[in-house]
Amino acid sequence: MSGKLAEKGEEDAQEKLKYYAGEQLTEAFTQEQFAEKWTEYLGRLNDRPNLKATLSKTPQIFDKHKLQLPIDNSVQLEEINKIKPDLVSWLRKELRNTSIELITDIVVQESGYKPYSENEKLAEMVKKNPNLALLKQRFNLDFGE
């Protein structure tokens, strides 16, 4: 019985290798077809919510077969690199295109000012709606400090 399992594992590995580096398939695919397969792969990651959240952004296709995936930090990059061979070979198999490449880029988010205290939050809200200052004054509202 364990011999059959070993053979099955070898066949899976050979199948993945075929789509990762072997036989050349070059079927064209659209952004919609790719997005459908990407969503299907995400469905397989229900037991790994952090990775699923990381991959929730659908990559953009450029140069017909390259996939650009923006990520936020190096931790996400490490998680993606762990599954990248499996993900890329699965996409190559499903979309029948062995030229598919997944390129990950860490996109630096500009961190703007974030108010933390109640006074800072109120000041930010008053900038958006000056009537809040009148409301606070008219009803003699104050923070319970």
Every domain of the chain and the residues it spans: 2-106, 113-145
pLDDT for position 79? 92
* pLDDT, average across residues 49-70: 90
pLDDT for position 142? 83
State the residue for tokens 């397969």: 37
In this prediction, residue 65 has a pLDDT band, given cuts at 50, 70 and 90, of: confident
Report the sign of the C-alpha dihedral through residues 79, 81, 85, 91, in that order: positive
φ, ψ for residue 96, nearest 5 deg:
50, 50
pLDDT for position 141? 85
Candidates 2, 110, 87; CA nearest to 37 is 87
pTM: 0.62
